[in-house]
Amino acid sequence: MRWNPIGAVVEGVGNVVNGFVGKVWGDKGAREAAGHDETMAVLGQFAGEFRQLQNRTWWDALIDGLNRLPRPVLALGTVGLFVYAMADPVGFSIRMQGLDLIPDELWYLLAAIVSFFFGARELAHSRKGRAEASPAARKAKVQAVTESIRELRTLRTPDTPGIAAIDDEQFAREMADTEKPLTNAAILEWNKRSAAG
């Protein structure tokens, strides 16, 4: 048998290319075998998780049920807040102001619990803004906002339900006071007077 230099070169190049392709992309058979093993392991885990346990107690069923609650409760509760905001805006606003009175440590505890269930990270930058205001200042702000929201519920006019009518003296006082922002009633009155004039 004669030695063929061209055949040897072609065979050598083919071996190099085959080795390179095997290193970069791997062996197709090995990839498929590894994928099969992984799929079988996942199916085995699912089967172990969902099979009926022979010695299952009411306690096991209760704990399984509690473990499944956080995600749907948080998701449906958030959607429920949107519905509540549309159904009763004033009540929703008062309750949202009440959330501002919750101590920071309780917010951090809630964030840790939610982080545990959802794998989210705690938002460290949110601490800065709340730490700047003292609890007494936040409480006073919440009380002021809550009172103004309650006024909206009790005061009505035929043109704008839920917005108080304003008399000339109160309007003059609000226009003269440059420290506080105008109430909705004063803004509406200003709009009416500007349109009439």
pLDDT in tens, 33-51: 888 888 888 888 777 766 6
Length of the chain (residues): 197
Are residues 143 and 165 both part of a single domain? no
Query: Along the chain (197 residues), what's the average pLDDT of each consecutive run of 10 residues?
Result: 69 75 70 85 77 74 84 90 92 88 89 72 54 73 82 60 66 82 78 75
Q: Are residues 102 and 142 in the same domain?
A: yes
Is 12 a domain residue? Answer: yes
Q: What's the sign of the alpha-carbon dihedral 96, 97, 100, 102?
A: negative
Answer yes or no: do 144 and 161 share one domain.
no
- For residue 109, being part of any structural domain is answered with yes
CA angle 126, 130, 136 (to 5 degrees): 165
Q: Are 84 and 92 in contact (CB under 8 A)?
A: yes
> Chain-centre distance of CA 40, in angstroms?
35
> Do the domain assignments include residue 126?
yes
Predicted pLDDT at 87: 92
Are 90 and 149 in a shared domain? yes
Whether residue 148 is found in the same domain as residue 161: no
Q: What are phi and psi of 117, to 5 degrees?
A: -75, -35
Distance CA(139)–CA(143), nearest Å, equals 6
* pLDDT given at position 120: 47
| φ, ψ of residue 91 in degrees (nearest 5) | -60, -40
pLDDT given at position 78? 92
Q: Are 180 and 170 in contact (CB under 8 A)?
A: no
Q: φ and ψ at 144, to 5 degrees?
A: -65, -45
d(CA 40, CA 182): 68
As a whole number of angstroms, the distance between CA 197 and CA 195 comes to: 6
**Overall domain count for the chain:** 3
Task: Record the pTM.
Answer: 0.38
Domain of 28 in residue numbering reads as 1-50
Do 124 and 180 lie in a common domain? no
- Is the domain of 141 the same as that of 83? yes
List of long-range contacts for 176-179, beta carbons under 8 Å, 24+ apart: none
- pLDDT of amino acid 86: 93
The span from the CA of 138 to the CA of 144, in Å, is: 10
**Are 96 and 144 found together in one domain?**
yes
Classify residue 46: in a domain, yes or no: yes
